[in-house]
Amino acid sequence: MDIQYRLEQKRKVLKDFPGPRSLELTARRAAAVAAGVASSVPVYVADADGGIIHDVDGNSFIDLGSGIAVTTVGASDAAVVGAVKEQVEHFTHTCFMVTPYEGYVAVAEKLNELTPGHHAKRTVLFNSGAEAVENAIKIARVATGRSAVVAFDHAYHGRTNLTMGLTAKAMPYKYGFGPFASEIYRAPMSYPFREENAQITGKEAAERAILTMSKQIGADQIAAIVIEPIQGEGGFIVPAEGFLPRLAEFAKENGIVFIADEVQSGFARTGEWFAVQHEGVVPDLITTAKGIAGGMPLSAVTGRAELLDAVHGGGLGGTYGGNPVACAAALAAIETMDSQDLRGRAREIEATVKERFGKLQAELGENGIIGEIRGRGAMLALEFVKRGSAQAKEPDAATTKAIADYCLKEGVIILTCGTYGNVIRLLPPLVINDELLNDGLDVLEAAIRAVA
């Protein structure tokens, strides 16, 4: 990695932030912005680059969240900024459904090339992850003539009506927002840390899910199985080895479209372009968004040509889908991921974090609060349990929040997640340098020691 940073990569926070300008903005916000939109950090951003975020009062924070796995190449990657500037000087929008342009086609070509499998592929572009997931299901329904869709425990697929239905967790994502779409079924996930039978294999966990599908729906009624290869909001859950391959095989045997939702796990984040590649799984459709375009809103459905081409002309689209500025940003971001070997960087980050926190876990002992350290590449999680509950593995959301709060106070932005709210997730920009990463991890380690 050879990155020229525009901003100094150094953490520096005043004791009593938020400062006056952030407080002023907080007051304006309270009077103007819907209360239903929450923010986890109480300061307002002035600038961001590499692994650093500057606020409007002169504080500098280490970013270990990447705006939820979006700014993989940083929030102002030089190549992305250059490509965006170049594009906006020519045209910001024409609508691909009216007067098309090359950028959209080039992004489709790139996605067809990078996604797993050598079969003929097609891509269609949208704006958000939820929109991509909805459209993947529309495509699967038309292509199969079936309507049932299977999602999993702990799943997160978005906040639109159909994707809320696919999402598992009620609060805050679904609570009060029903009724939800019909023909959505939920199957049991493989969650190795919380299996009742600790010996269950990935294949057996898949058979358990398959039994649910066969008995509650009937395999020949299912249009699609949609799954995050590593679950994001649900707790960075990595299914046991063999789970995903068996599900993909079951889908194939029964004419079911296997959709990998790689909105969070995709694009170099896990050390491969896509998380399914760790187990050699080739999905029929793959949804991408978040990290795809260096922070610009863009999403995609990529997959088997015969599935995407089964939809009637005009059946897919949207006013902004595949916006030319977002497409220019995506091509530049992918180029940066490649030229800077950010997949290799993700694997380095994994090694650093797992070694350090593995030692800490051992030191805290069997009854310590770190229940499990898991994840792939720079999509890593620490799951916290109540002290002394090594057997019961009682989730400890309060301690998890205390750790994140401690880190924030010291100037390190850390996100939590999980069905039980007891998981710290690490999603640093892959362009973060070692010094800054280690400084952020020092703070996290101190926070864990302070509460343990």
**Crossing angle (nearest 10°) for helices 324-339 and 102-114:** 40
Of 60, 66, 72, 128, which one interacts with ligand PLP (CB under 6 A)?
Answer: 128
289/353 with CB nearer ligand PLP = 289
- The secondary structure element, H or E, covering residue 405 is helix 397-409
352, 361, 380 from 358: Cα distances, Å: 10, 5, 12
How far apart are CB 232 and ligand PLP at their closest, in Å? 4
How far apart are CB 131 and ligand PLP at their closest, in Å? 7
Find the part of the chain contacting ligand PLP (CB under 6 A) among 128-136, 173-181, 185-193, 236-244.
Answer: 128-136
Euclidean distance between CA atoms 30 and 193, whole angstroms: 40
Of 114, 130, 224, 333, which one interacts with ligand PLP (CB under 6 A)?
Answer: 130
Report if residue 429 touches ligand PLP, rule: CB under 6 A: no
260/448 with CB nearer ligand PLP = 260
Report if residue 274 touches ligand PLP, rule: CB under 6 A: no
How far apart are CB 135 and ligand PLP at their closest, in Å? 12
Q: Are 141 and 223 in contact (CB under 8 A)?
A: yes
- Shortest Cβ contact with ligand PLP: which residue? 129
What are the backbone dihedrals phi and psi of residue 81, each rounded to the nearest 5 degrees, phi first? -60, -45
258 - beta bridge partners? 225
What b/e sequence results for 362-384 when a residue is b if at least 16 CB atoms lie within 10 Å of its CB, and e otherwise?
eeeeeebbbbbbbbbbbbbbbbb
Q: Which distant-in-sequence residues (6+ apart) come within 8 Å of 363 by Cβ?
A: none
29, 41, 55, 57, 203 from 22: Cα distances, Å: 10, 11, 8, 7, 51
Q: Could you say which residues in the range 222-261 bind ligand PLP, by CB under 6 A?
A: 228, 232, 261
How far apart are CB 264 and ligand PLP at their closest, in Å? 3
Report if residue 270 touches ligand PLP, rule: CB under 6 A: no
Report if residue 289 touches ligand PLP, rule: CB under 6 A: yes
How far apart are CB 407 and ligand PLP at their closest, in Å? 22
Report if residue 158 touches ligand PLP, rule: CB under 6 A: yes
Report if residue 162 touches ligand PLP, rule: CB under 6 A: no
How large is the greatest C-alpha to C-alpha distance in the chain, in angstroms?
63
For 355, the 3-state DSSP assignment is helix
Where on the chain is the footprint of ligand PLP (CB under 6 A)? 128-130, 133, 156-158, 228, 232, 261, 263-264, 289-290
